[in-house]
Amino acid sequence: MPLNCGIFCLTLVPAALSWILCTISMGIVEWRVWHVDNTTIISSGIAWVGIWKVCFISYLHISPGYREQFCHKFSGYDSFVPHEIYAAQGLLLVAMFMGLLGLAATIFALRNVYMGITHKTLIAPFFLVGGVFYIFAGLCVLIPVSWNFYSVTHNQSIAFPPSYYMPSSPVAQEAGAAIPVGIVAVILLLLSGTFSLSYRFPMTSNTLMKS
């Protein structure tokens, strides 16, 4: 049974790309871009709020390792962290883990297809499992992305501690680069999951004789 390029392109490739994009969105600090009117400390008037830290350009306060930037990290244990950011921290980690499991299942199934294995139980169930993992991972990314986008469109505030030098409310805010990256990851994960779930084991002469 030769390896079908269509199966490879429609399942493994978008799944791998979506996992990479999910990882990138976790690391990008620009989830929410805040515009502030007080430029005494936030020199550029723009601050970037991520799911792990908040950063802005400052000529008065510079964090070690950041050139002309002040960054302050936070976690879900901090009481001021809003629910949408707390959910993003946990759900994106779950999505990455589910994506890895899906990739492992898909790679194993494609490996069996490439090796010419004709046992249906060694191919079809792994595509099914991979598809379930992909869709679950896609939902885990969709929830925090859409929730944070909702918070941006409604200009919701965050009660940062005084040590963060951040106002509790911005003049205006907009969606950062992490949100469209996350949306693309969701689309690829759902597409890959759909194609994996729709996989049909090809009928061969051996399977016809057994049936």
CATH code for the domain in which residue 137 is found? 1.20.140.150
Over residues 179-188, the mean pLDDT reads 95
Length of the chain: 211
* Domain presence at residue 211: no
* Domain presence at residue 54: yes
* Domain presence at residue 141: yes
pLDDT of residue 113: 75
- Across 79-107, b (16+ Cβ under 10 Å) vs e yields eebbebbbbbbebbeebbebbebbbebbb
* Domain presence at residue 206: no
In the chain, % helix, strand, coil (3-state, to 5) comes to: 55, 10, 35
Q: Domain of 125?
A: 5-198
Over residues 40-52, the mean pLDDT reads 91
Please give the Cα distance from 94 to 83 (Å, whole number). Answer: 16
| CA pseudo-torsion sign 38, 43, 45, 50 | negative
Helix or strand holding residue 119 (H, E): none
* Domain presence at residue 143: yes
| CA pseudo-torsion sign 105, 114, 199, 196 | positive
Give the pLDDT confidence of 134-167 residue by residue, as tens digits. 999 999 999 999 999 999 999 999 999 998 989 9
* Domain presence at residue 207: no
Number of domains in the chain: 1
* Domain presence at residue 204: no
